[in-house]
Structure 1
Amino acid sequence: MTSKSVSTALTLYRSRTLTLEQAATIGGCSTAQLEKSARAFAPSTGTTPADD
């Protein structure tokens, strides 16, 4: 599992090109590891920059 392969797999999963299982196979990791990576790189929610 390299960061580049996981990044590519996440991109394809988020664009709905691949299922989670397919993306994990391409990324060389388990679905649980891919989900964890996806959460780690997900944009934060609940806070937005204030417009001044």
Structure 2
Amino acid sequence: MTSKSVATALTLYRARTLTLEQAATVGGCSTAQLEESARAFAPTPGETPADD
């Protein structure tokens, strides 16, 4: 599991291109590890851009 493969898997999962299970396979990790990574990379409420 590399950070690049996990980042790619997270991007595809968030875009709803892949299921969580498929994204974990692409990222070379378990679904639990991918969920943990997703939480770690999730923007904090103050970081989300405003919808204008």
TM-score scaled by length of structure 2: 0.85
Q: Which amino acid aligns with 2:19?
A: T
Give the fraction of aligned pairs with identical amino acids, expressed as a percent. 83
- 1:9-48 per-position Cα deviation (integer Å, ceiling 9, x unaligned): 0000000000000000000000000000000000112x36
Runs of 4+ that moved beyond 3 A: none
Distance 1:42 1:16 in 2: 16
TM-score scaled by length of structure 1: 0.85
Which 5+ residue runs of structure 1 have no aligned equivalent? none
Which 5+ residue runs of structure 2 have no aligned equivalent? 48-52
Q: Which amino acid aligns with 2:13?
A: Y
The structure number with the bigger radius of gyration is: 1
